[in-house]
Structure 1
């Protein structure tokens, strides 16, 4: 049978259309219960047990659970536990969850597909006895609640009629909706709140800890600490009228009472200050803000301010210190910043957060504070009865709500990750905190792989240009196994019209797209991951190891499929012709940068060395031309760890060495990327995947220019060419690291380079500021970047070798893919830096060092300093009784000593492990010497002895082995080229 619904609608042209919708209903849909005698089940179709065991003390009889939509949306962490079985998920609930939260929907599907969990999906919307029509004037949510009640009542009736008397399982409806529960009880349906049910479950310790504390944030007006948020209707109206603005909230890492929101129409981000100004926004939330009148605009605060270690209870501390240091600036002050406040939350971007449990003030108490690993996330109130067991663990917590009368958001415990300080647990924290997909590849993905002994078929070779006879080689960091590029160069007969020599130069890139076909499971997984993530002691691959380290890796002496970009170039490094083709190559050698440099500098004269020397000579000319065009040579503190071959703990650290061969490879990768970008833009002007680097706004340079001026240098940032020239001239001979430091600071003024689809911005916006080139893309690393995979597919369509990628022509889809690429790329960078910081902490667990440091930022109560040797940053706190902050010069003054940005210091580094929950590196000033504050040599000797004695009992087997073995036997970290 079926039902029909007819309604009339009016088109834009004024025509009236009659629309008839048919909804088919059936009477043969199975109930899924093994207790039922009438539904024609097969043995393998029974999902629900005949006599389900009751685990809840409230119900001493067998029963099935029916869940409403809100239970699924808010209590997924409970549902994922093995405790609850024999659960009926109605189609009404599935569709509502899918509409509201796709991530929760996917998690629910995984549970349903797990046969051990016994979750049965019942299609109530197409069963003649459970389908309900929406009544006139009835809200969709109310109709859905009525459908859930109808299905619950039908199950109870169906099982009682078709099961032996007294033996049928009952049905219990779990709902937290008070009105829904009341109406269900009036209909004779047994129902219960999730909290009451879970708190009475026996045999599953810790299940109540996972209950979501879902309090309506604006319903708590009693003792409110925060202003109420506007309703969605008010927010929408305010944004349309221009009174309100929307944007993503970014919390400060230095000051928990500050944050910013970037909005259209304002060059600078909007500054938010204080608890009231931030008004319960959490880093990443999309918020609605009201911008204050210009006379109320302020400077950002100059202090480093952390949340207090003790639980202050539900009250807000005085914000006088913050407001005093962020007083309104005078008109014309370059540091004045538009200021505003949060008036509404448009969309929460909450996720699960890693961190530690802080001990409660009250012995035996269940309410605790959770301290996230990420500084820009507020602490969270959770309830747990496992505090003693969790005190030494890294744990995962989910946010639930943030009522107006609570200083902190409410959340619930999800799971323990492992002991604090355990290497695996700490790496898990890094991956989770930066949202790095790192689960094992699924069976569906692995099923897309060729066999381990796969070789290139002859028919495939015939389709390609055979370059196996060319002298091709790769140059990479030591230990690199995912080799995605190789090069060759040779002189070719004849000369140009100017009498210059001509060379054939080729860049050969692994042909990953031969194995990763569009819309397959492996393609979808690679698109989601978007990039390979490199930690100090491990690599999280974008594609399975069989491809990344074997079949796609251009290893020496092995035949591989490639996508080649081959140029004719004259002796002045001018490109005469460019060709692209799929190829098959056989690399003659896989070399490290150092090996290639030694070969170039040697007296050898074979084909490989000849090729490398041509490449090196041309690369220098290409680089010179780029710099003349205005390309910026920036810097970042890059280091390389030497790790133990067994424990993978860091043994030593050193700055990365840069050689001519690094630059040689980089120049030809840049040239290949530019050549491909030009080809794609010409063929697909609306959907080419490109990469642009926006010019930084002048406001980004304010602090940097002041700091450089204090050192006697006027830096011209009007264009990238004048900027590059100014940086070249800013040299202090007696301070060789100064220019590098200047370039590191300049890097931090830059905006992030981003992927984009060419049809979404104007051609002028294609420009790459840092490289000083009008168009650019990523083509050279498809093993580790999904952007390059997409570019390969587009290029293949351009040259007519593969036209199966029509979906890439969808501009909207390409834009969505670019958003994910940019997000994953940024998170991978942050994860890599966090891994360096973690391993630096491990390194300092057994050592104390005195190192040179440079001042990066001067704050009102601290100096942010950089240790060049370790690429490590941290605050050096300054006592107010010793130092005075000079606001005009951004300097800290102590008598005759003045500390400013770029000043060089000597710092003592130790790891403070006195509080296991909050291990941190401690920076202590050695030079310049400040009486009563600096660590003096005598104290250094004594403190080092004390540390050695304290840590004498902490020697691990790997440390013992290092002391017994000669230096140099540990393996180096596997890494990638820049």
Structure 2
């Protein structure tokens, strides 16, 4: 037999091998058994191995942990490995609804966040689809943040902060950088280890001791690889940016400086990137949303632009803001400060009293804000009872008060229009954590939603929809904000669950006709939320409805926004803190200036898919980091309140216990083994924890009194006991 066969002969052998392995009489088979059936001489064994490697790469065969070849259930898939502390993992695959489960024996040495190729394992009815990692394409983590623990004279270990990492990192003494036990460190992975050997690394940075002020937050910053400092090159570029609007800058722009307009933000806001103006001519409202023209100072593909793209978004942590753009820019020439000229992109809308946008214009403008307002002040001005107590404040803003009244009415009109079409509004409280000078939490309070915050939200939504619709019908490359229809299985579970309370939802197809498939119109969710408003089951059903939703993301395809019940939506209003807004501002300006020729359109068609994907990823990273810092400070806050009795509501139920949320938004676990008075079990279909003997149950949204049993800032957990 010749060493090298023709391609045709090679394919024939591959077919024979697959047929043998797939035959139930011979499955599974080891290499030597295959060799015997193929009557391959010893000198051809390497050739057989080459064929087997090819079949493995094509996903037609799989190699079990025992070294046997078995039939692969389908082609190879590529995704991101997500590890679990218990050794198993999952692989997230873009476009696939459910993650693949990777048993511990089939992780193939994959590390958390690795890009891997997997082959599907035979299906087990009723269980999540399993798969096996067959190849690691790229490592996702090169550094780990953790606590150094000196274990001997010549070595130590880094215990990862990330609970998903199942193994500590071995660090030889000569690579410890002088770290001592209790130091928070960044360790670079030099060897990812095996099933029998721990990963190995070297300390590249010592953040400080675990008890030092700020080290806890910095550990989270480094764990999520959030870029902190801007390079010297970027800062030099920022220093060259003019701090005043010149006559050349104003040329060719719509002059809106005589128009009354204000910014309305939180008291501590510094980067003011949106201003609003409203007037009423007796028949229609004229709404202007004016957004800082950041692209005038951030040129495409400059060092500053590449850094903004890399960051994707500003990150708002409990004790600091990590900005997308340097403060010298975002708080300076790009901030719509009162009384000075600023460049903007304006969306000027004519709105009927019904809320319909009759006409609009998108233009480059030069503006001058009259007053820098805060949510608190606008709220007070619109509450007549408080005006007599705030006479000085009233006089200061008296000239603008008629406009604020018109803003209030117009916002109500726009909100009602959205409500009628089915926009879903989940009103769950967010919190503000107040820290002292050393970073310790002293107060946690829910954010207040009021008439002023609603005004800005309603106006920004109107501008975002208008801009998205305009560019959709122009059929130009664009970045949209999309929110897909909820997962059908989750909606079916929600519908089955609410039937227990006498509620129902009907599924509808995209044509609007009632169908038997899984789609649901947002108005059905909205109707459900209206029906349960004020009922004991409202918190429970609202949370389950929210969990049935998909996550919003950026896309070059305009597939609509389910939650807002609108077909066209984008993010246009925050170019200082979100890169997609900055990106579409460039497209808008090129279109307005007539520069979107075939070459530029082709450029954006190639560029934007990756921009949308990266922006979605950095947004999720920022959200996770923000949640982690909140959880950290909430746990630290509760450490000082052990034994206190608190009123709360059941916010989550799992097989291992019930979660209880306090009015200040702190959430903790009551472990199932500590639920008093009975043996409790989890009824998944009813989402209840039920006592076996007494029938006593815990349900989502149920009020419950708890005592603080334990809190741990390092694991970021709070534990409660039910207080009898």
TM over 0.5: yes
Which residue of the other structure, out of 247, 250, 260, is the alignment partner of 1:461?
250
Q: 1:648 to 1:679 in 2, by over 3 A?
A: same
Which residue of the other structure, out of 322, 330, 335, is the alignment partner of 1:540?
322
Contact 2:655–2:672 (8 Å) recurs in 1: no
Q: 1:490 to 1:743 in 2, by over 3 A?
A: same
Which residue of the other structure, out of 549, 555, 577, is the alignment partner of 1:750?
549
Contact 2:657–2:670 (8 Å) recurs in 1: yes
Structural mapping, 1:255-334, within 5 Å: 256-263=86-93, 267-273=97-103, 275-294=104-123, 296-297=124-125, 329=126
Match of 2:214, SS state, is helix
In 2, Cα distance between the equivalents of 1:821 and 1:572? 35
Partner of 2:32: none
Which residue of the other structure, out of 531, 535, 551, is the alignment partner of 1:729?
531
Partner of 1:135: none
Query: Displacement of 1:481 after TM fit?
Result: 0.7
Contact 2:710–2:720 (8 Å) recurs in 1: no
Answering whether residue 55 of structure 2 is matched by residue 237 of structure 1, we say no
Structural mapping, 1:124-139, within 5 Å: none
Partner of 1:435: 225
Answering whether residue 662 of structure 2 is matched by residue 867 of structure 1, we say yes
Query: Displacement of 1:705 after TM fit?
Result: 5.2
In 1, Cα distance between the equivalents of 2:545 and 2:257? 44
In 1, Cα distance between the equivalents of 2:700 and 2:149? 36
Q: Which has the higher mean CA deviation after the structures are superposed, 480-489 or 596-605?
A: 596-605
Contact 1:635–1:740 (8 Å) recurs in 2: no
Contact 1:581–1:799 (8 Å) recurs in 2: yes
Partner of 2:41: none
Q: 1:860 to 1:568 in 2, by over 3 A?
A: closer
Query: Displacement of 1:727 after TM fit?
Result: 1.9
In 2, Cα distance between the equivalents of 1:265 and 1:586? 45
Aligned length: 634
Partner of 2:166: 378
Q: Which has the higher mean CA deviation after the structures are superposed, 592-601 or 876-885?
A: 876-885
Answering whether residue 657 of structure 2 is matched by residue 855 of structure 1, we say no
Q: 1:701 to 1:260 in 2, by over 3 A?
A: farther
Q: 1:418 to 1:450 in 2, by over 3 A?
A: closer
Query: Displacement of 1:359 after TM fit?
Result: 5.8
Q: 1:476 to 1:234 in 2, by over 3 A?
A: farther
**Rg larger in structure:** 1
Partner of 1:181: none
Structure 1 runs not aligned, ≥5 long: 1-229, 298-328, 330-335, 496-500, 759-764, 930-978
In 2, Cα distance between the equivalents of 1:564 and 1:232? 60
Query: Displacement of 1:585 after TM fit?
Result: 1.4
Answering whether residue 173 of structure 2 is matched by residue 390 of structure 1, we say no
Partner of 2:411: 619
Partner of 1:781: 574
Structural mapping, 1:941-956, within 5 Å: none
Q: For 1:162-192, what per-residue CA distance to the aligned partner results, in whole angstroms no more than 9, with x for missing partners?
A: xxxxxxxxxxxxxxxxxxxxxxxxxxxxxxx
Match of 2:467, SS state, is helix
Answering whether residue 273 of structure 2 is matched by residue 491 of structure 1, we say no
Structural mapping, 1:169-180, within 5 Å: none
Which residue of the other structure, out of 607, 610, 616, is the alignment partner of 2:402?
610
Q: For 1:330-376, what per-residue CA distance to the aligned partner results, in whole angstroms no more than 9, with x for missing partners?
A: xxxxxx4323343433333123111123564xx546253x3221222
Query: Displacement of 1:823 after TM fit?
Result: 1.2
Which residue of the other structure, out of 234, 252, 266, is the alignment partner of 1:477?
266
Query: Displacement of 1:900 after TM fit?
Result: 3.7
TM-score, L = length of structure 2: 0.80
Structural mapping, 1:42-81, within 5 Å: none
Match of 1:390, SS state, is coil
Structure 2 runs not aligned, ≥5 long: 1-50, 62-71, 388-393, 508-519
In 2, Cα distance between the equivalents of 1:708 and 1:908? 31
In 2, Cα distance between the equivalents of 1:880 and 1:472? 57
Answering whether residue 722 of structure 2 is matched by residue 926 of structure 1, we say yes
Answering whether residue 563 of structure 2 is matched by residue 770 of structure 1, we say yes
Query: Displacement of 1:806 after TM fit?
Result: 3.0
Partner of 1:907: 706
Q: For 1:499-548, what per-residue CA distance to the aligned partner results, in whole angstroms no more than 9, with x for missing partners?
A: xx122210010111111111211111111111111111211111111221
Which residue of the other structure, out of 708, 716, 719, is the alignment partner of 2:521?
719
TM-score, L = length of structure 1: 0.60
Q: For 1:676-730, what per-residue CA distance to the aligned partner results, in whole angstroms no more than 9, with x for missing partners?
A: 11222233x2521211111121233466556655566445562221122112212
User: RMSD of the TM alignment (CA)?
Assistant: 3.2
Structural mapping, 1:185-264, within 5 Å: 233-238=54-59, 243-249=74-80, 251=82, 256-263=86-93
Structural mapping, 1:960-971, within 5 Å: none
